[in-house]
Amino acid sequence: MALIFRWYLGLSSNWANAGVPDRKTDMQIWCGPAMGAFNDWVRGTDLELYQNRMAADVAERIMWGAVRLWRLRMVESVVYM
């Protein structure tokens, strides 16, 4: 059974990478916990629906988040000095 699962999972990944239209329902795209963390991060925003996710919009949000964190750390370092 394990060999069958390995065979099927391997093929389904290849079908997704190759974009085989006949096997569209069998395609699997592998992701790790980062995908779940991202979905939690965008929950409640306009990016919650995957149709609204454009690379430039996501990148801009990440950069603004980094700026906010940097500013918070700068304020904390001034307060504790």
Mean pLDDT in runs of 10 for the chain (81 residues)? 88 84 80 89 94 94 94 84 62
* Token pair listed for 15: 């079908």
Residue with the two structure tokens 């779940």: 36
Yes or no: say if 10 and 21 are a contact pair by the CB < 8 Å rule.
no
pTM of the predicted structure, to 2 decimals: 0.56
Distance CA 59, CA 66 (A): 11
Residue with the two structure tokens 């979905």: 39
pLDDT of 41 reads 93
pLDDT of 31 reads 79
> Identity (one letter) of the amino acid at 16?
A
At residue 12, what are phi and psi to the nearest 5 degrees?
-65, -35
pLDDT of 15 reads 85
